[in-house]
Amino acid sequence: MKEEILKTIKEKGILIEKELFDLLYGFEDIKEAKNFIEQLERYSGQKIITKSVLNQNIEFVKSIVNNLSEEKLNLMQNIFVKLGISLEIRKESSVVRDGFIEVEKKKFDKYVPRYEVICANTNEGKKLEVADFVGGFRARYQQLQRILMQRNELQNLISIGKISSQRQNISIIGIVTEKRITKNKNLVIKFEDLTGEIVGVVKLDKEEVFKKARDLQLDDVVGVKGAGNKDMIFVFDIIYPDVAISEKVKFEEDISIAFLSDLHAGSKMHLGKNFEKFLSWINSENEYAKKIKYLFFVGDNVDGVGIFPNQESFLEIKSIKEQYGLVVDYLKKIPNHITIFMCPGQHDASRVAEPQPAIEKKYAEELYKLDNLVLVTNPALVKIFEGKKEFKVLMYHGASIHGFINEIQELRESKAHSTPARAVKEMLKRRHLAPTHSSVSYIPNPNGDFLVINEVPDILATGEVHRLDIENYNGVLIITGSCWQSQTPFEEKMGNVPDPCKVPVYNLKTRELKIFDFWDEK
């Protein structure tokens, strides 16, 4: 069937978005599939068929799909849900009661999900070489350069290679390659762009800019205002790419989204009874539970196997497949009208290097059979739609949080592991989830750095630190997730006290955030 569909498309000169092929295969009949694509082409007048084209011609699509058998209709609805497209088809069936024919409508949840997922490109394709890392940094620089060039503060912007020998006021955009303190306690920073490099000096008595410069991390891409020549510039200000939301999105429909992370299913410290309390609540008639339409699982869904030395002594379930089996049992208890997004963390069955691919099917095959579950990469951007409005949630498990806390003096001295959202602020300020080389394991991509925050999210949700923390930074809501695991021996040794079993629920109409606590000390 696949070959025949491809032949038809080729003959017609039609281009189809890759993920729409599942839709064609869902017809399970070559004639129906060919008829659908031919009619859609004629009706839409488009030779390039994308999800956008389907959405624009949704009434026509409904008229075709509605004529399918009951079994095929259900299959197609599941495919459309995973594509983030609403069909809103309601079949009617006849029932005979007391000699009269009545119409009984099947029960459907009124809300139909509409979303788009932007996943990272995780196909390495070849053995990594030095040139790949160079290309990755070049791509990152260019992405952040485009953002910084929109900043009004950077007047007299010039490439480093074009700075003359005459003293002048200038602005540059550079990547930090070196940072040191002189005998006089001044800061010397080396900046580099695609045309050259230059030394910047920040004097200790310039308190405000000195603090900004002190917090700079290696490989940060920033704007610099100063005065000098091609040999050296004295830095007056440092401009981060930064984020800002001027107009906050509010939906008309009264719906909510909820966040969980660090389930650690399979661990002896896993708080299964508490999670069952949450599952009972989300199935209840509670007014807040009933409004939840999207659920985000932000990594470390299982405890994994072989993650750290002697881990087997801390495992209740010692098979990775059985650990995911427990996760599947949990997810099956979540109402089917709730769309679930799940990304991996370091403990999941996915390579550790970021961006991480979605959880591997060979270890978690049953996850792929859940109709309302969407498996995504780490990181991933999820856009939820209502008409022309879109609400963006950036999911990132958060491995780099520790690096920010260890390297930024203020965070380190204030023991920010207890207030991790402050570290996440640094990601938003830099528009990058893990800027410093070696702060996390990563796979470079010369075509673009997916750890760059290109689109400003409404919410940035992380996990990793096992403590719920909430911050608002320039209009972006930061949520660092709680956990479903009691304190581990490693956490006790490091002095990290988890804050388990908390579920933040955010209302897209009122923008109200509520925290529900399922912890039971007994």
- Answer yes or no: is pLDDT of 108 > 50: no
Residue 172 tokens read as 């540059």
Task: Please answer whether residues 479 and 461 qualify as being in contact, where contact means their C-beta atoms are separated by less than 8 angstroms.
Answer: yes
pLDDT per position as a tens digit, 320-364: 999 999 999 999 999 999 999 999 999 999 999 999 999 999 999
Report the alpha-carbon distance of residue 160 to residue 232 in Å, rounded.
11
Report the alpha-carbon distance of residue 519 to residue 522 in Å, rounded.
9
Give Cβ neighbours of residue 120 (< 8 Å, ≥ 6 apart).
Answer: 355, 356, 377, 378, 379, 380, 450
Residue 297 tokens read as 């699982």
pLDDT per position as a tens digit, 459-514: 999 999 999 999 999 999 999 999 999 988 777 777 778 899 999 999 999 999 99
Average of per-residue pLDDT values in the chain = 87
| Residues facing residue 93 across a β-bridge | 104
User: pLDDT at position 21, please?
Assistant: 74
The one-letter code for the residue type at 179 is K
Number of residues written out for the chain: 522
The one-letter code for the residue type at 411 is L
Phi/psi at 147 (nearest 5 deg)?
-70, -45
For 387-420, where are the alpha helices, taking DSSP H only?
Answer: 401-407, 409-413
- Answer yes or no: is pLDDT of 426 > 60: yes
Helices 58-65 and 30-44 pack at an angle, to 10 degrees, of 160
Reduce the secondary structure of 233-280 to three states and give it as a string. Answer: EEEEEEECCCCCCCCCCCCCCCCEEEEECCCCECECCECHHHHHHHHH
Q: What whole-number percentage of the chain has pLDDT above 70?
A: 89
Place of tokens 């704007």: 223
Helices 272-282 and 320-331 pack at an angle, to 10 degrees, of 30
User: pLDDT at position 99, please?
Assistant: 35
For 257-360, where are the alpha helices, taking DSSP H only?
Answer: 272-282, 320-331
How far is the CA of 43 from the CAs of 37, 54, 60, 433, in angstroms?
A: 10, 11, 8, 43
**Residue 348: left (phi > 0), alpha (psi -120 to 50), or beta?**
beta
Place of tokens 């702060």: 439
Residue 434 tokens read as 């893990």
User: Distance from CA of residue 60 to its chain's centroid?
Assistant: 33
Report the alpha-carbon distance of residue 420 to residue 469 in Å, rounded.
7
Give Cβ neighbours of residue 366 (< 8 Å, ≥ 6 apart).
Answer: 324, 325, 328
Query: Rounded mean pLDDT of 200-211?
Result: 93
The one-letter code for the residue type at 505 is V
pLDDT per position as a tens digit, 298-315: 999 999 898 888 888 889
User: pLDDT at position 109, please?
Assistant: 54
pLDDT per position as a tens digit, 49-72: 877 777 767 767 777 777 677 667
Coil vs helix vs strand at 96: strand
Coil vs helix vs strand at 292: strand
